[in-house]
Amino acid sequence: MRQFVKTPECRDEIIKLQRTAFSGLERAPDGIIHDIYGQPETQVYVARGQTVGMEIPPLMGYALVTKKLNVGFDDEPYIWSIAVREESRKQGVGGYLLDEIACTAREEAYAGTILICKADNDAAISVYKKHGYEVVRTLKRYYLTGDGLLMRRKV
């Protein structure tokens, strides 16, 4: 479900999920996620499991969308972070979040959305390509451990 209401509980769930979802991958420190989450312009997308009773269903995946400067397409929504809980992968959750982001961007009259992905993150690149993202250019040594790919989807 799309969600733009930010709560400290949701922020903490995202930080926790990010810690495990990026295991073995380069990830942002908790404090930076905390700051990005708190910025008024940051949009938060979450996917949750089925509601059982009164419990809030567990977070399956999230995306944080901001604006990225200095890479071109400067005013387009930028997917700052996206991740899906390991047990919930390959069930369309990541693709669902990407489509929701594109839908909002279209509603807000943007021409596209952008993201930067590590050039060797095959799983993520595959999902992005399936959902309309194309490589714009390689950003040499963008990450501590390698190159990044600037990708864009027209919406």
The sheet that has 77-84: what strands, in order across it?
A: 43-48, 59-67, 77-84, 112-118, 146-154, 134-143
Tell me the one-letter amino acid at 63. A
Q: Is 16 helix (H, G, I), strand (E, B) or coil?
A: helix
Q: How far is the CB of 97 from ligand COA (least distance, A)?
A: 8
Q: How far is the CB of 55 from ligand COA (least distance, A)?
A: 22
Q: How far is the CB of 87 from ligand COA (least distance, A)?
A: 10
Q: Which is nearer to ligand COA, 41 or 87 (CB)?
A: 87
Q: Which is nearer to ligand COA, 94 or 112 (CB)?
A: 94
Residue 9 class from Cβ within 10 Å (0-12 exposed, 13-18 middle, 19+ buried)?
Answer: exposed
> Is the dihedral angle over the CA atoms 9, 42, 39, 135 positive or is it negative?
positive
Query: Both tokens of residue 5?
Result: 């209401």
Note the residues at the interface with ligand COA (CB under 6 A). 21-22, 25, 82-84, 89-95, 117, 121-124, 126-127, 130
Q: How far is the CB of 109 from ligand COA (least distance, A)?
A: 26
Instruction: Tell me the residue number closest to ligand COA, measured at CB.
Output: 94
Q: How far is the CB of 148 from ligand COA (least distance, A)?
A: 9
7's CB contacts (< 8 A; 6+ apart) are none
Query: Both tokens of residue 104?
Result: 């909002």
Q: Which is nearer to ligand COA, 27 or 106 (CB)?
A: 27
Q: Which is nearer to ligand COA, 105 or 151 (CB)?
A: 151
